[in-house]
Amino acid sequence: MKKILSTLALSALCSLPSLAANEATVTLLPSEESPIIVKEIYGQFAEHLGTCIYGGLWVGPDSPIPNTNGYRNDVLNALKELHVPVLRWPGGCFADEYHWMDGIGPKQNRPRMVNNNWGGTVEDNSFGTHDFFDLCEMLGCEPYLSGNVGSGSVEELAKWVEYITAEDGPMATLRKQNGREKPWHLKYLGVGNESWGCGGNFTPEYYSDVYRRYQTYCRNYNGNHLYKIASGASDYDYNWTDVMMRNAGRFMDGISLHYYTVLGWNGSKGSAINFNESDYYWALGKCLEVGDVVKRHCEIMDKYDPKKRVGLLVDEWGTWFDEEPGTVPGHLFQQNSLRDAMVAALSLNTFHTFTDRVKMTNIAQIANVLQSMVLTRGDQMVLTPTYYVFKMYVPHQDAKLVPLNVATPMIATRDGRKVPVVSATASAKNGKTTISLVNTDLKNEAEITINLSGISAKNISGEILTAASMNDYNDFGQPEKVTLKPFNKGYQVKGGKLTVTLPAKSIVTLSLQ
pLDDT of residue 490: 81
| Rounded Cα gap, residues 60 and 65, in angstroms | 9
Give the model confidence (pLDDT) of 334-348 as tens digits: 999 999 999 999 999
Among the three residues 398, 420, 441, which one is the final residue of a domain in this structure? 398
Three-point CA angle 75, 76, 79, nearest 5°: 85
47 tagged catalytic: no
* Distance in Å from the first CA to the final CA of the chain: 25
Average pLDDT over residues 259-270: 96
Average pLDDT over residues 438-452: 97
Pair 292, 214 in one domain: yes
| Residue in 316, 323, 447, 463 annotated catalytic | 316
pTM: 0.94
Pair 371, 460 in one domain: no
H/E stretch holding 136 reads: helix 129-139
**CATH code where residue 470 lies:** 2.60.40.1180
Pair 17, 52 in one domain: no
**CATH code where residue 298 lies:** 3.20.20.80
Q: Is the pLDDT of residue 14 over 50?
A: no
Pair 275, 418 in one domain: no
Pair 227, 81 in one domain: yes
Average pLDDT, the chain: 94
DSSP 41-84: GGEEE--SSTTSTBTTTB--TT-SS-EETTEEHHHHHHHHTTT-
Pair 126, 168 in one domain: yes
pLDDT of residue 21: 52
Give the model confidence (pLDDT) of 165-181 as tens digits: 999 999 999 999 999 99
Number of domains the chain contains? 2
Pair 283, 410 in one domain: no
Pair 247, 367 in one domain: yes
Question: What's the Cα-to-Cα distance from 222 to each of 143, 256, 354, rounded to whole Å?
Answer: 18, 27, 33
Per the structure, the complete domain to which residue 13 belongs is given by 2-35+402-512
205 tagged catalytic: no
Pair 385, 467 in one domain: no
| Residue in 162, 194, 323, 447 annotated catalytic | 194
Among the three residues 365, 398, 431, which one is the final residue of a domain in this structure? 398
Pair 449, 376 in one domain: no
Among the three residues 398, 430, 462, which one is the final residue of a domain in this structure? 398
Pair 22, 61 in one domain: no
Question: What's the Cα-to-Cα distance from 390 to each of 124, 316, 385, 409, rounded to whole Å?
Answer: 32, 16, 9, 26
Pairing label, strands 43-45, 86-89 = parallel
Q: Is the pLDDT of residue 20 over 90?
A: no
Pair 165, 306 in one domain: yes
In single-letter form, the type of residue at position 288 comes to L
Give the model confidence (pLDDT) of 116-146 as tens digits: 999 999 999 999 999 999 999 999 999 999 9
